[in-house]
Chain A
Amino acid sequence: GAGVSQSPSNKVTEKGKDVELRCDPISGHTALYWYRQSLGQGLEFLIYFQGNSAPDKSGLPSDRFSAERTGGSVSTLTIQRTQQEDSAVYLCASRRQGAGGELFFGEGSRLTVL
């Protein structure tokens, strides 16, 4: 596709359920980032994938959060046993390489945990 694609755009779930959020980056982009933006807050870094290197997971808020990137392309962010504080917009961004490349963001997946 022409841009970074995220799905679903909106997800409402019950507390305790697991959710999967998908990010399809721009073709050829080796760097992929997941961020979280809570209502009225700034961007919170979650995880960073660069090519085949081990991902930087330093931003994941708890062990309920995990992410993988298969084949160096599509990434899935999984949140297990969701809590109300997980409600946020989850944003994915990609760029051609690491530092110094222009970032391209997806439209985000809005997660609401009831």
Chain B
Amino acid sequence: KNEVEQSPQNLTAQEGEFITINCSYSVGISALHWLQQHPGGGIVSLFMLSSGKKKHGRLIATINIQEKHSSLHITASHPRDSAVYICAVDLNNNDMRFGAGTRLTVKP
């Protein structure tokens, strides 16, 4: 079993829909990252969080340390949000583990 599990693996939405991507982990962590990878493009960091909630524009990330679960929400989704979203965790020994990614397609 992977230490970091993401769901869903693939997600298709209509423009304007509210989107949720989930990440569960089974190890002790010091921080969790949400990353975005556009087709053919590089990877950018969206959020780094160790507790609570962070918001940036239409993106919201939450984490529940007790439940070892994080969610990434996108409000009023747009076709330009189409990308692979990756959850990554910092282990307590400074190593990192990555989820397999969620491929999001937003249709106009």
List 20 A-B pairs, Cβ < 8 Å.
A33-B96, A35-B98, A41-B100, A43-B88, A43-B101, A45-B98, A48-B96, A98-B90, A99-B30, A99-B90, A99-B94, A100-B48, A102-B33, A102-B45, A104-B45, A105-B35, A105-B42, A105-B43, A105-B44, A108-B42
Q: B91 near A103 (CB under 8 angstroms)?
A: no
Q: Quick check: B45 and A103 within 8 Å, CB to CB?
A: yes
Q: Which residue of B lies closest to A103 (CB)?
A: B45
Q: Enumerate chain B residues within 8 angstroms of A45, measured Cβ to Cβ.
A: 95-98
CB atoms of B33 and A99 under 8 A apart: no
A25 at the interface (CB under 8 A from B): no
B48 to chain A, nearest CB (A): 5
4 interchain residue pairs of minimum CB distance: A99-B90, A98-B94, A42-B100, A105-B43
| Bound: A101/B43 CA distance, A | 16
- Could you tell me the distance between the alpha carbons of A41 and B9 in the complex, rounded to whole angstroms? 11
Q: Give the residue among A43, A91, A107 with the most B Cβ atoms within 10 A.
A: A43
Please, which residues of chain B bring their CB within 8 A of the CB of A103? 33, 35, 45, 48, 88
The residue from B31, B45, B86 contacting A99, defined by CB atoms under 8 A apart: B31
A35–B101 Cα gap in the complex (Å)? 14
Which A residues, 19 to 38, have Cβ-Cβ distances below 8 Å to chain B? 31, 33, 35
> Could you say which of A42, A50, A98 contacts B98, with CB atoms under 8 Å apart?
A42
Q: What CA separation (Å) do A1 and B97 show in the bound complex? A: 27
Contact with A along B71-101 (1 / 0, CB 8 A): 0000000000000001010111011111111
Q: With A42-B99, A100-B30 in contact, do A50 and B44 touch (Cβ < 8 Å)? A: no
The reply on B22 being an interface residue by CB < 8 A is no
How many Å lie between the Cα of A91 and that of B44 in the bound state?
Answer: 12
List residues of chain A with CB within 8 A of the CB of B100: 41-42
At the interface, yes or no: B50 with Cβ under 8 Å from chain A? yes
What is the bound-complex CA distance between A33 and B88, given in angstroms? 13
